[in-house]
Amino acid sequence: MTIQRIGAVVAILVAFLTVACGAAPQAGGSPSPTPTASPTQTAAAQPTVVPTPSPASAYLDDRGNPDVVIRSYYDAIGRHQYLRAFGYWEPSATLPSFDVFDKGFADTTSVQVELGTVGGSPGAGQLYWSIPAAVFSTTTAGAQSFVGCYTVHLARPEIQTDPPFKPMAIQTGQLSSVASAAAARSALATVCGSANSTPLPWGAPGTGIDAARYLDDRSGAEELIRSYYNAVNRKEYARAYGYWEAGAPQLSAFAPFAAGYASTKSVALLTKPGTSDVGAGQTYYRVPTVVTASNADGSTTIFAGCYTLHLASPNAQATPPFRPLGIQSARIAQAAGGSNTSDLLSSACP
């Protein structure tokens, strides 16, 4: 694709979609005026990004924080998993079709992204973050550098009480070409204007699954199980339900699923790396799991067993929607009182 052809693709994308990137909407307000651009223009003009995960590093599919949403997006682009990348955009009437989005990356060979300080704003049950991004791409036309601002949005999980759960996603974005990587980096501090001047903390630090933290990570099997039980601890049952693969034989309707946790006050979780099986474009994971449930009546119940998770190869998925890693089945049973959790974990996936 020539430079002229790249420009033509961008023009097409702009015709499909104009979005703003700047200060997050305030409570009861509308988005602040800012330069306009197309999510796919972002992709087409510079299909590039993410120094975090490149194809040589770990697969990243994490929506637990706004910065990792952008890093996951560029991880997908770097791996040429454009259907997955498309899925990080929030659905809207102005979002281009997947075919248009996909074609915008036809000549992209690699990408990296560097992020600036993340800021944000809450409003009317909604959370918005502004993420400055410097993007460095290699295409068949040569190396290119871009800088711009993304807005990431999440409707507060606690008010999403019915499926389907809508995860953290990119709402708007604009990238502009700059002369050099140095110019892109130097613009990070100002590219979002005043939108990133007020940090919006999200989730407590640490490594646990307690309700103070927010985990929404499908990068690996253990990460998904931890996210599942984090949703249970936060009483976000629509989110927990969404970690199951659609059509899983053991998955009940949502109402009885949520009712099953009515007497659960909190849970503690033990997992360990399990096994994986790859074949015919499909990967299956088995995760040994022990769950200690603290109940509303003050009692404690221990459950142990094995979760089976499934992921169709992201490179082979070609038709929206993208199907991420999900729970396919579970063989979980109540353990005898006084059981040793380490022993239970060791025998959970025979």
Tokens of 32: 């602040």
Residue 203: inside a domain: no
Span 253-273, pLDDT tens digits? 999 999 999 999 999 999 999
- The pLDDT value given to residue 197: 65
Q: Clarify whether residues 191 and 229 are in a common domain.
A: no
- The pLDDT value given to residue 41: 30
Q: Clarify whether residues 243 and 192 are in a common domain.
A: no
The pLDDT of residue 292 is above 70: yes
Angle, vertex CA 60, rays to CA 118 and CA 239, nearest 5: 80
Q: Clarify whether residues 141 and 241 are in a common domain.
A: no
Of 153, 180, 196, which residue constitutes the final position of a domain? 196
Taking Cα atoms as reference points, which of 248, 223, 243, 218 lies closest to residue 232?
Answer: 243
Q: Clarify whether residues 154 and 38 are in a common domain.
A: yes
How many domains does the structure of the chain reveal? 2
Residue 209: inside a domain: no
Confidence (pTM): 0.85
The pLDDT of residue 34 is above 70: no
Q: Looking at the chain, how many residues does it have? A: 350
Residue 177: inside a domain: yes
Of 196, 229, 248, which residue constitutes the final position of a domain? 196
Q: Clarify whether residues 133 and 243 are in a common domain.
A: no
The pLDDT of residue 54 is above 70: no
> How confident is the prediction for the chain on average, in pLDDT?
85
Pairing of β 264-271 and β 169-178: unpaired
How confident is residue 196, by pLDDT bands cut at 50, 70 and 90? low
Residue 206: inside a domain: no
Residue 322: inside a domain: yes
Task: Please give the share of the chain, as a percent, with pLDDT higher than 70.
Answer: 83
Q: What is the mean pLDDT of residues 208-227?
A: 97
- The pLDDT value given to residue 47: 31
- The pLDDT value given to residue 123: 80
Q: Clarify whether residues 226 and 265 are in a common domain.
A: yes
Q: Clarify whether residues 52 and 128 are in a common domain.
A: yes
Residue 292: inside a domain: yes
Distance CA 120, CA 207 (A): 23
Q: Clarify whether residues 140 and 235 are in a common domain.
A: no
The pLDDT of residue 56 is above 80: no
Stretch among 18-27, 28-37, 85-94 having the lowest mean pLDDT: 28-37
Longest dimension (CA), the chain: 71
Torsion sign across C-alpha atoms 64, 156, 85, 229: positive
Stretch among 41-55, 142-156, 168-182 having the lowest mean pLDDT: 41-55
Residue 34: inside a domain: yes
Q: What is the CATH number of the domain that holds 266?
A: 3.10.450.50
Count of beta carbons in the 10 Å neighbourhood of residue 212: 13
Omega cis (within 30) before 320: no
Q: What is the mean pLDDT of residues 189-207?
A: 80
- Can you give the residue range of the structural domain that contains 153? 3-196
Q: Clarify whether residues 192 and 232 are in a common domain.
A: no
Q: Clarify whether residues 149 and 259 are in a common domain.
A: no
Span 72-82, pLDDT tens digits? 999 999 999 99
The pLDDT of residue 166 is above 90: yes
The pLDDT of residue 302 is above 80: yes
How confident is residue 29, by pLDDT bands cut at 50, 70 and 90? very low
Q: Clarify whether residues 159 and 239 are in a common domain.
A: no
Q: Clarify whether residues 176 and 81 are in a common domain.
A: yes
Distance CA 287, CA 329 (A): 11
Span 65-124, pLDDT tens digits? 999 999 999 999 999 999 999 999 999 998 999 999 999 999 999 999 999 999 988 888
Distance CA 320, CA 69 (A): 19
Distance CA 317, CA 102 (A): 12
Span 1-15, pLDDT tens digits? 333 233 323 322 332
- The pLDDT value given to residue 40: 29
